[in-house]
Amino acid sequence: MVWLTHTHGTAIMTRNELLKREIKAFAFDQYGTIVDMQTGLTEAATPFLKEKGWDGDPHRFVTWWRRTHFENSMIDALCDRGHTPYREIGHRAVAYVMDRCDITYTQDEVRWLVSQIESLKPFADVVAALGQLKSRYTLSILSNGDRDMLAAAKPHIGFNFDHVISVQEAGAFKPHWRTYAKAEEIIGEERSSILFVANHAFDCIGAKSFGMRTAFIDRRNRPFGETPHQPDLVVDSLAALAEAMT
Protein backbone atom coordinates (compact mmCIF):
# COMPACT_ATOMS: atom_id res chain seq x y z
CA MET A 1 0.00 0.00 0.00
CA VAL A 2 1.26 3.48 -0.89
CA TRP A 3 1.13 6.18 1.76
CA LEU A 4 1.86 9.90 1.86
CA THR A 5 2.93 11.76 5.00
CA HIS A 6 1.82 15.32 5.71
CA THR A 7 3.71 17.88 7.80
CA HIS A 8 2.39 16.55 11.11
CA GLY A 9 3.62 13.05 10.39
CA THR A 10 0.21 11.39 10.04
CA ALA A 11 -0.08 8.79 7.29
CA ILE A 12 -2.79 9.47 4.69
CA MET A 13 -3.89 7.30 1.80
CA THR A 14 -3.40 8.25 -1.82
CA ARG A 15 -6.61 8.88 -3.78
CA ASN A 16 -6.20 5.63 -5.73
CA GLU A 17 -5.79 3.60 -2.55
CA LEU A 18 -8.83 5.29 -0.99
CA LEU A 19 -10.93 4.47 -4.07
CA LYS A 20 -9.68 0.88 -4.12
CA ARG A 21 -10.75 0.51 -0.50
CA GLU A 22 -14.20 2.07 -0.91
CA ILE A 23 -15.31 1.16 -4.45
CA LYS A 24 -17.27 -2.09 -4.79
CA ALA A 25 -18.75 -1.75 -8.28
CA PHE A 26 -18.10 -0.10 -11.62
CA ALA A 27 -20.74 1.28 -13.99
CA PHE A 28 -19.58 1.97 -17.54
CA ASP A 29 -21.02 4.10 -20.28
CA GLN A 30 -21.11 1.94 -23.42
CA TYR A 31 -21.11 4.16 -26.53
CA GLY A 32 -17.74 5.85 -26.84
CA THR A 33 -16.34 4.37 -23.61
CA ILE A 34 -16.55 0.60 -24.11
CA VAL A 35 -17.13 0.59 -27.88
CA ASP A 36 -15.37 2.81 -30.44
CA MET A 37 -18.39 4.63 -31.79
CA GLN A 38 -16.65 7.23 -33.95
CA THR A 39 -14.41 4.76 -35.78
CA GLY A 40 -17.06 2.08 -36.19
CA LEU A 41 -19.75 4.39 -37.54
CA THR A 42 -17.29 6.15 -39.84
CA GLU A 43 -16.28 2.79 -41.31
CA ALA A 44 -19.96 1.95 -41.90
CA ALA A 45 -20.88 5.37 -43.30
CA THR A 46 -17.92 5.78 -45.68
CA PRO A 47 -19.03 3.37 -48.46
CA PHE A 48 -22.66 4.42 -48.01
CA LEU A 49 -21.84 8.11 -48.49
CA LYS A 50 -19.54 7.33 -51.42
CA GLU A 51 -22.35 5.41 -53.13
CA LYS A 52 -24.61 8.43 -52.57
CA GLY A 53 -22.07 10.62 -54.34
CA TRP A 54 -21.47 12.81 -51.30
CA ASP A 55 -17.90 14.13 -51.38
CA GLY A 56 -17.68 15.38 -47.79
CA ASP A 57 -15.68 13.88 -44.91
CA PRO A 58 -17.42 10.76 -43.47
CA HIS A 59 -15.74 11.38 -40.11
CA ARG A 60 -17.39 14.81 -39.93
CA PHE A 61 -20.72 13.33 -41.04
CA VAL A 62 -20.60 10.93 -38.07
CA THR A 63 -19.60 13.75 -35.72
CA TRP A 64 -22.60 15.79 -36.88
CA TRP A 65 -24.82 12.72 -36.47
CA ARG A 66 -23.61 12.11 -32.92
CA ARG A 67 -23.87 15.77 -31.89
CA THR A 68 -27.40 16.01 -33.27
CA HIS A 69 -28.35 12.81 -31.48
CA PHE A 70 -26.91 14.15 -28.21
CA GLU A 71 -28.77 17.44 -28.54
CA ASN A 72 -32.06 15.70 -29.27
CA SER A 73 -31.67 13.26 -26.38
CA MET A 74 -30.97 16.14 -23.98
CA ILE A 75 -34.11 17.93 -25.22
CA ASP A 76 -36.08 14.73 -24.67
CA ALA A 77 -34.82 14.36 -21.10
CA LEU A 78 -35.38 18.02 -20.24
CA CYS A 79 -38.93 18.05 -21.60
CA ASP A 80 -39.62 15.03 -19.35
CA ARG A 81 -42.82 14.12 -21.17
CA GLY A 82 -42.07 10.44 -21.67
CA HIS A 83 -38.92 8.70 -22.84
CA THR A 84 -38.27 8.48 -26.59
CA PRO A 85 -36.34 5.34 -27.60
CA TYR A 86 -32.66 5.79 -28.43
CA ARG A 87 -33.22 4.23 -31.84
CA GLU A 88 -35.89 6.80 -32.69
CA ILE A 89 -33.68 9.68 -31.56
CA GLY A 90 -30.93 8.21 -33.75
CA HIS A 91 -33.24 7.95 -36.72
CA ARG A 92 -34.20 11.61 -36.41
CA ALA A 93 -30.54 12.63 -36.07
CA VAL A 94 -29.35 10.72 -39.16
CA ALA A 95 -32.26 11.98 -41.27
CA TYR A 96 -31.56 15.57 -40.19
CA VAL A 97 -27.85 15.36 -41.07
CA MET A 98 -28.60 13.80 -44.47
CA ASP A 99 -31.09 16.59 -45.14
CA ARG A 100 -28.42 19.14 -44.21
CA CYS A 101 -25.98 17.42 -46.57
CA ASP A 102 -28.61 17.30 -49.34
CA ILE A 103 -28.37 13.51 -49.55
CA THR A 104 -31.35 11.63 -50.98
CA TYR A 105 -32.24 8.64 -48.79
CA THR A 106 -34.93 6.15 -47.88
CA GLN A 107 -36.23 5.37 -44.40
CA ASP A 108 -34.76 1.87 -44.71
CA GLU A 109 -31.33 3.41 -45.33
CA VAL A 110 -31.65 5.54 -42.20
CA ARG A 111 -32.68 2.47 -40.19
CA TRP A 112 -29.67 0.58 -41.54
CA LEU A 113 -27.23 3.31 -40.54
CA VAL A 114 -28.67 3.51 -37.03
CA SER A 115 -28.52 -0.28 -36.70
CA GLN A 116 -24.74 -0.17 -37.13
CA ILE A 117 -24.53 1.02 -33.52
CA GLU A 118 -25.49 -2.49 -32.43
CA SER A 119 -22.36 -4.12 -33.89
CA LEU A 120 -19.67 -1.68 -32.77
CA LYS A 121 -16.40 -3.20 -31.58
CA PRO A 122 -14.74 -2.40 -28.25
CA PHE A 123 -11.57 -0.36 -28.01
CA ALA A 124 -8.49 -2.60 -28.18
CA ASP A 125 -7.71 -2.45 -24.46
CA VAL A 126 -11.24 -2.91 -23.15
CA VAL A 127 -11.79 -6.67 -22.79
CA ALA A 128 -8.46 -7.33 -21.07
CA ALA A 129 -8.99 -4.37 -18.72
CA LEU A 130 -12.49 -5.54 -17.84
CA GLY A 131 -11.17 -9.02 -17.12
CA GLN A 132 -8.60 -7.51 -14.75
CA LEU A 133 -11.25 -5.47 -12.93
CA LYS A 134 -13.71 -8.39 -12.79
CA SER A 135 -11.50 -10.19 -10.26
CA ARG A 136 -12.27 -7.48 -7.70
CA TYR A 137 -15.45 -5.58 -8.61
CA THR A 138 -19.01 -5.95 -9.87
CA LEU A 139 -19.09 -4.58 -13.44
CA SER A 140 -22.15 -3.07 -15.10
CA ILE A 141 -23.17 -1.09 -18.16
CA LEU A 142 -25.37 2.00 -17.83
CA SER A 143 -26.24 3.13 -21.34
CA ASN A 144 -28.59 5.48 -23.15
CA GLY A 145 -29.17 2.64 -25.62
CA ASP A 146 -32.44 0.74 -25.82
CA ARG A 147 -32.67 -2.66 -24.11
CA ASP A 148 -32.73 -4.60 -27.37
CA MET A 149 -29.83 -2.60 -28.82
CA LEU A 150 -27.69 -3.41 -25.79
CA ALA A 151 -28.65 -7.08 -26.01
CA ALA A 152 -27.65 -7.14 -29.70
CA ALA A 153 -24.29 -5.56 -28.86
CA LYS A 154 -23.23 -8.20 -26.30
CA PRO A 155 -21.60 -10.70 -28.69
CA HIS A 156 -19.71 -7.91 -30.47
CA ILE A 157 -18.21 -6.69 -27.20
CA GLY A 158 -17.25 -10.17 -26.05
CA PHE A 159 -17.56 -9.65 -22.29
CA ASN A 160 -20.25 -10.65 -19.81
CA PHE A 161 -21.16 -7.81 -17.48
CA ASP A 162 -22.95 -8.45 -14.21
CA HIS A 163 -25.69 -6.00 -15.24
CA VAL A 164 -26.53 -4.30 -18.53
CA ILE A 165 -28.80 -1.39 -17.69
CA SER A 166 -30.68 0.70 -20.22
CA VAL A 167 -31.94 4.14 -19.28
CA GLN A 168 -35.32 2.86 -20.43
CA GLU A 169 -35.56 1.47 -16.90
CA ALA A 170 -35.47 5.05 -15.56
CA GLY A 171 -37.45 6.72 -18.35
CA ALA A 172 -34.89 9.41 -19.19
CA PHE A 173 -31.54 9.82 -20.90
CA LYS A 174 -28.35 10.45 -18.97
CA PRO A 175 -27.40 12.75 -17.31
CA HIS A 176 -30.86 12.85 -15.69
CA TRP A 177 -30.42 11.88 -12.04
CA ARG A 178 -33.02 9.11 -12.34
CA THR A 179 -30.72 7.09 -14.58
CA TYR A 180 -27.96 6.90 -11.96
CA ALA A 181 -30.53 6.24 -9.22
CA LYS A 182 -31.88 3.28 -11.20
CA ALA A 183 -28.35 1.95 -11.69
CA GLU A 184 -27.70 2.23 -7.94
CA GLU A 185 -30.90 0.28 -7.27
CA ILE A 186 -30.09 -2.51 -9.75
CA ILE A 187 -26.41 -2.82 -8.84
CA GLY A 188 -27.33 -2.97 -5.16
CA GLU A 189 -24.50 -0.85 -3.76
CA GLU A 190 -24.48 2.59 -2.19
CA ARG A 191 -23.89 5.30 -4.78
CA SER A 192 -20.60 6.37 -3.17
CA SER A 193 -19.32 2.80 -3.59
CA ILE A 194 -19.93 2.85 -7.36
CA LEU A 195 -17.29 4.21 -9.76
CA PHE A 196 -18.97 5.49 -12.90
CA VAL A 197 -16.69 5.42 -15.96
CA ALA A 198 -17.21 7.47 -19.12
CA ASN A 199 -15.44 9.08 -22.04
CA HIS A 200 -17.87 12.01 -21.79
CA ALA A 201 -17.63 14.86 -19.28
CA PHE A 202 -21.41 15.34 -19.19
CA ASP A 203 -21.91 11.75 -18.08
CA CYS A 204 -19.24 11.95 -15.38
CA ILE A 205 -20.78 15.22 -14.16
CA GLY A 206 -24.23 13.64 -13.98
CA ALA A 207 -22.99 10.64 -12.01
CA LYS A 208 -20.82 12.73 -9.69
CA SER A 209 -23.63 15.18 -8.92
CA PHE A 210 -25.80 12.18 -7.98
CA GLY A 211 -23.13 11.01 -5.54
CA MET A 212 -21.20 8.34 -7.42
CA ARG A 213 -17.42 8.43 -7.79
CA THR A 214 -16.29 8.96 -11.38
CA ALA A 215 -13.44 8.16 -13.74
CA PHE A 216 -12.97 10.16 -16.95
CA ILE A 217 -11.42 8.19 -19.82
CA ASP A 218 -9.57 10.94 -21.67
CA ARG A 219 -8.51 9.14 -24.85
CA ARG A 220 -8.24 12.36 -26.86
CA ASN A 221 -6.40 14.59 -24.37
CA ARG A 222 -9.27 17.01 -23.81
CA PRO A 223 -9.87 19.32 -20.86
CA PHE A 224 -12.66 18.23 -18.54
CA GLY A 225 -13.88 21.78 -18.05
CA GLU A 226 -14.78 24.01 -15.14
CA THR A 227 -17.35 22.30 -12.94
CA PRO A 228 -17.66 21.55 -9.22
CA HIS A 229 -18.22 17.90 -10.21
CA GLN A 230 -14.65 16.98 -11.11
CA PRO A 231 -13.79 13.29 -11.71
CA ASP A 232 -12.01 11.26 -9.05
CA LEU A 233 -9.70 9.75 -11.66
CA VAL A 234 -8.54 10.87 -15.11
CA VAL A 235 -6.84 8.21 -17.24
CA ASP A 236 -6.18 7.82 -20.95
CA SER A 237 -7.52 4.27 -21.36
CA LEU A 238 -9.37 1.45 -19.64
CA ALA A 239 -6.05 -0.34 -19.34
CA ALA A 240 -4.75 2.56 -17.24
CA LEU A 241 -7.94 2.50 -15.16
CA ALA A 242 -7.54 -1.22 -14.46
CA GLU A 243 -3.91 -0.66 -13.49
CA ALA A 244 -4.90 2.12 -11.07
CA MET A 245 -7.76 0.18 -9.45
CA THR A 246 -6.35 -3.33 -9.04
pLDDT, one tens digit per residue, over 137-182 is: 999 999 999 999 999 999 999 999 999 999 999 999 999 999 999 9
pLDDT value at 12 more than 70? no
pLDDT number for residue 6 = 40
CA angle (220 as vertex; 128, 205 as ends), nearest 5: 85
Where residue 1 falls among pLDDT bands split at 50, 70, 90?
very low
Residue 5, in any domain of the structure: no
pLDDT number for residue 2 = 35
What are the φ/ψ torsions at residue 191 (nearest 5 degrees)?
-55, -35
Q: Which residues contact 155 (CB under 8 A, 6 or more apart)?
A: none
Residue 2, in any domain of the structure: no
- Are 136 and 194 in a shared domain? yes
Q: Could you give the C-alpha distances from 202 to 32, 226, 240, in angstroms and in order? A: 13, 12, 21
Question: How many domains does the chain fold into?
Answer: 2
- The CATH number for 45's domain is 1.10.150.240
pLDDT value at 195 more than 70? yes
pLDDT value at 122 more than 90? yes
Cα distance between residue 166 and residue 202, in whole Å: 17
- Cβ–Cβ contacts within 10 Å for residue 185, how many? 13
- Are 44 and 101 in a shared domain? yes
- Are 112 and 146 in a shared domain? no
The predicted-structure confidence for 46-94, as pLDDT tens digits, reads as follows 999 999 999 999 999 999 999 999 999 999 999 999 999 999 999 999 9
Q: Are 58 and 109 in contact (CB under 8 A)?
A: no
Residue 4, in any domain of the structure: no
Average pLDDT value over all residues in the chain? 94
Q: Which domain, by its residues, includes 146?
A: 13-36+122-245
Q: Which helix (H) or strand (E) holds 243?
A: helix 238-245
- Are 165 and 45 in a shared domain? no
Burial state string for 58-83 with b = 16 or more CB within 10 A and e = fewer than 16: beebbebbbebbbebbeebbeeeeeb
- Its pTM stands at 0.92
- Looking at 66, 84, 119, which one is the last position of a domain? 119
pLDDT value at 8 more than 80? no
The arithmetic mean of pLDDT across residues 89-113, rounded, is: 98
- Are 224 and 132 in a shared domain? yes
